[in-house]
Structure 1
């Protein structure tokens, strides 16, 4: 999946009654200041590891510190195994095998990858192709400012016709995936990460953890036990990345981000960022960023990137028309649009993001 390099993160104490820990992490759009407040003296564990080209943080609390350690290790192992299946950079991944066999034959894939590919097809249908996992067909981009890489204009023109999500054939009975045209390539960077984070959270639950948060490059999934306080998630302002725009309390579900300011490089006077438009093969030139909040993975996954591709009016309507999803869109003009439901959840935030 597409490489992501967030800003540095920190764990630091914050003033409050009782015990509190604050976790701030950079992201494509948002820095998430995550606060866990316990009413009982439960054990707590926070750990960070490199996964999916970014830093993934897990924060858990529970009565048994040994159980928490086992659960966190199992969750990281589960996420690493799924990354090995879904990365288009790894030559041994199933995604790489699908790309290699494009136009030749279907490739057997595990159930988890089929689930992600079905999600990709679903958001492609909902957005009329504004999200398209076959965007990898126009070549590999690298947004590391120290060693940026972009396909040539000629390569993009030559391969843009191969960007077509409808040419991906999924066979649930055979457990296979097939790209119809030779030269087509999948890039699941816009849809696999949130699924993998959810699988990490599900692993924690399977080990008996009832209060947990998994944060990967600004995409957050969380759960809380009935007696525990909600997680506090702070949203970084894409117009001024050092500032927290607002915060919200999250008991169950997702906060997902897409944006243009964290991963980019400058070349020949132009700014290139990581959200690519399937219609052109180049970075989008619409909103600066999108934040989505929802309880269901399938409702929010991939929707932010699609909204950025669609632009101001259509992107806003896509969010409005998505059941169970609330959103915030930051426009290039500096304006903000916030859905009514999300506006009611947000709290002002005057603190600096770390």
Structure 2
């Protein structure tokens, strides 16, 4: 369900640069980029005051870097690493920002029947970097897979603590932390007076306001052929979040292995090729794309029917393309 890396580098499903180039000639429009969460994070803002833009961008990146450091499983000083060291023994005090992420992870795990599971970090032998790919042996998988169980992530809301019940358990928040971190970046921009902004992090986009008086335009890559655009979306507030099985993968013995792991088998998911979700609220979609990739298109359509505020596109393994009525309207109107 989650990536082998804490926050996934990806070929973005969303193509925004194409639509930003003309606007960047406007002196009120500024874009800044930094590597963050294993991908390139781009922020585009529009405001008349250059110093305001500079300070806002600086503060937003600083806040997102702080949160990413807190929730990375690959930094020894992170709280995720502290939870791993304390697994089977002690509770760990968790600040409100991370506790909210853990609550969202637990909620999505319950909703999806475990298709999303933040304890997938126990499957530590996978590496989807094409330069140094690695996969677990059957013996390693047999040892690690029993440690994957979201029910053994214990949260105490009164004490604001978290605990992993059994020794050897590990968290991987890569499928649930990125969107809240982007949301914190947007909130920081707003505190600095920026009302028109886009954050684009490796296929996940958050927008507010407009660009030169028009809604932000977001180009959608086709999950079945990522080099091609499927269409464009126009959005003034909210999220476009993407998951795909072509992100971070390697081939071995004629088979392609990708980074979205099934918590039941410990192997790459066999669900859709890609999922795109559009919504105003973070809570409506956070973790849902990864869960659909594992549980399959039928389960995804069932969950989406219960969440009418989410517009969705699912590229099936059979090559078919399913769109909700809302997504079809969005792509047709752009």
| Same fold per superposition (TM over 0.5) | yes
Please state if 1:4 is matched with 2:4: no
Which of the residues 202, 210, 214 maps onto 2:187? 202
Question: Partners of 1:166 and 1:323 in 2: how far apart?
Answer: 28
**Residue by residue, what CA displacement relative to the aligned partner does 1:223-265 show, whole Å, maximum 9, x if unpaired?**
0069832100011001111110011101000000011112101
Which of the residues 283, 297, 302 maps onto 1:317? 302
Structure 2 residue aligned with 1:87: 72
Structure 2 residue aligned with 1:266: 251
Q: For 1:327-338, what aligned pairs fall within 5 Å after superposition?
A: 327-338=312-323
Q: For 1:82-121, what aligned pairs fall within 5 Å after superposition?
A: 82-121=67-106
Q: For 1:46-61, what aligned pairs fall within 5 Å after superposition?
A: 46-61=31-46
Corresponding residue SS for 1:128:
coil
Question: Partners of 2:7 and 2:281 in 1: how far apart?
Answer: 25
Q: Name stretches of at least 5 consecutive residues in structure 2 with no aligned partner.
A: none
Q: Which runs of 4+ in 1 moved over 4 A?
A: none
Structure 2 residue aligned with 1:133: 118
**Does the CA contact (< 8 Å) of 1:4 and 1:53 recur in 2?**
yes
Which of the residues 173, 189, 193 maps onto 2:158? 173
Structure 2 length normalisation: TM-score?
A: 0.93
Which of the residues 197, 211, 217 maps onto 2:196? 211
Question: Partners of 1:266 and 1:288 in 2: how far apart?
Answer: 16
**Does the CA contact (< 8 Å) of 1:320 and 1:326 recur in 2?**
no
Q: Report the alpha carbon displacement of residue 322 of structure 1 after superposing the two structures with TM.
A: 2.1
| Farther-moved stretch of structure 1 (165-174 vs 65-74) | 165-174
Corresponding residue SS for 1:199:
helix
Aligned positions, number: 327
Q: Report the alpha carbon displacement of residue 268 of structure 1 after superposing the two structures with TM.
A: 2.4
Q: Report the alpha carbon displacement of residue 138 of structure 1 after superposing the two structures with TM.
A: 2.0
Which of the residues 267, 272, 280 maps onto 1:282? 267
| Farther-moved stretch of structure 1 (46-55 vs 137-146) | 137-146
* RMSD across aligned positions (CA): 1.9
Structure 1 length normalisation: TM-score?
A: 0.88
Please state if 1:69 is matched with 2:54: yes
Question: Partners of 2:102 and 2:308 in 1: how far apart?
Answer: 21
More helix per residue:
2
Please state if 1:343 is matched with 2:315: no
Question: Partners of 2:189 and 2:298 in 1: how far apart?
Answer: 39
Question: Partners of 2:250 and 2:211 in 1: how far apart?
Answer: 45
Question: Partners of 1:296 and 1:34 in 2: how far apart?
Answer: 26
Residues 32 and 263 of structure 1: CA distance in aligned 2, closer, same or farther (over 3 Å): farther
Q: Report the alpha carbon displacement of residue 269 of structure 1 after superposing the two structures with TM.
A: 2.2
Residues 275 and 287 of structure 1: CA distance in aligned 2, closer, same or farther (over 3 Å): same
Q: Report the alpha carbon displacement of residue 160 of structure 1 after superposing the two structures with TM.
A: 1.2
**Does the CA contact (< 8 Å) of 1:168 and 1:179 recur in 2?**
yes
Q: Report the alpha carbon displacement of residue 140 of structure 1 after superposing the two structures with TM.
A: 4.2
Q: Name stretches of at least 5 consecutive residues in structure 1 with no aligned partner.
A: 7-25, 350-354
Structure 2 residue aligned with 1:245: 230
**Residue by residue, what CA displacement relative to the aligned partner does 1:319-354 show, whole Å, maximum 9, x if unpaired?**
2222421110001111000001111111489xxxxx
